[in-house]
Structure 1
């Protein structure tokens, strides 16, 4: 028994370290091809899947949604749902698939998610969330975590957020990521909910003081490694970055291992492209299409000489019949020439 406890403690510590910087779960973006690409830039950051709904796994049998590449570790599965029994079944499937963490989504504001009574609307039902994570943890050999908002609609976040955290902590959750905005469930689209509700970083800082025994990561509006370092230096345990890590991944991930994790490691964007070529070849040989991968690579050279040509060549050429890794190599060669000019 002591050995099992030591193993679990060690695994939690490893994940807590990885969670110093994580790439947010983003629907239609953080699929397995995106995560493989991101992993080539950072060995240490924690990666998340797109949200997978528990009903899709348990009732729909969509186990293909659990597919990932072994190179992605450490990688977390994010689940959506509100039925404790169903979430427990989905958690068991995720753990059996080898994910390092199972995360419950209590932050997505989309209408489709609300109609399924999960996502951000669950901020209104902390007792149900506690029941869900308790059921998940009871069947999971890996850590169960939560990603939430500071509140929804007319909630007084400085009152309801600590109550929410108290409930999930009592249910066994020790690591939570807080998107430092409310979700407005009526009147705003999911896109607008990522920008319009004001950020409240001080409230998240206050939660770290009040819940010192919890690992608290902050999410929302963070667009650079400098900002991530600022949040860590202010006492938070982790930073989760979403859109910036997707649209300009080199700015966030190429230097993350050195600046966030203290590793003596330098990664070059051109080397990442070269490392992607064998992966692309394997994907194509299995019947896949080039643009399923390259759509995630468009922003790699954002802000650098040749970025526009890189994006144009990939976006226009990758969907053409017969397009292969040579297109990516040609685009990289053009970047190299422009950088040398």
Structure 2
């Protein structure tokens, strides 16, 4: 209930008497419910958890006795409106980002009271992790580290990117991952120049660079790691690119700390690319936070004045991509500390791994 109490305090400061929470990740964060199709109504007087008959028993097991469980019969929003009427709530906030325009309009028409968008309040809390969240993330990180060492013995010429992606996901599940938090990326050869290319039927060939971007989930919390390896000896230009990306990535993970502005870190990461006139080949964000969602605020961006705070967990993920030749990306998960931050992912990256090829 501590997280709910924190939100109620925020609501009091903002003079908001009630709030409707519909984002399932925010519902889970606030009350610990791990199922689906549920929402919360929070007020100083009471907290209501609204779900359907499939999840009532699960909710009784997972929720505090202080939360009232309501099983809707017509629809979740209709039940919400009924609770609002019964308890004489005069104003309510809701998560506009999570609802479509039509759902937002339906919500307002059903409740027939003053409404206010309250986006980002819970996400702001979620950005800074507590000890339990850090512990769960560490377990998800252990899974990707073990999986990387496993997949090095699986990748070889003659198998497809899809086969590698399938093996990655199968092995992660075998050792404890609940699910993949995003679509696993395996791109090889000239396709490694696709920053977010999905695994295809392309066959891995001798001399290919292979970029692996994958994550695991442990008790709801995700990890996210990228490594680029070579199958045999790659083009010398790609070996040079690897060293440059590694320099940028190390600059980022060594610099990030409590109080640093996002745009400052972005500049540090991009500095080696700017020096070599290659910044135009880095065409995606330099990193993001992870947690219940794989991409959470804050983000590493040259446009952002946001400051990193101790116990945020950030990714640092620079990459360079040369169309028609290939690309390199390296990514680690980092726990922000006041001075020296802690790199959580431990998979090798110091030198470009050139997988042995046997005739």
TM-score (norm 2): 0.24
Q: Who wins on radius of gyration, i.e. which is larger?
A: 2
Which structure has the highest helix share of the two? 1
Which structure has the highest strand share of the two? 2
TM-score (norm 1): 0.25
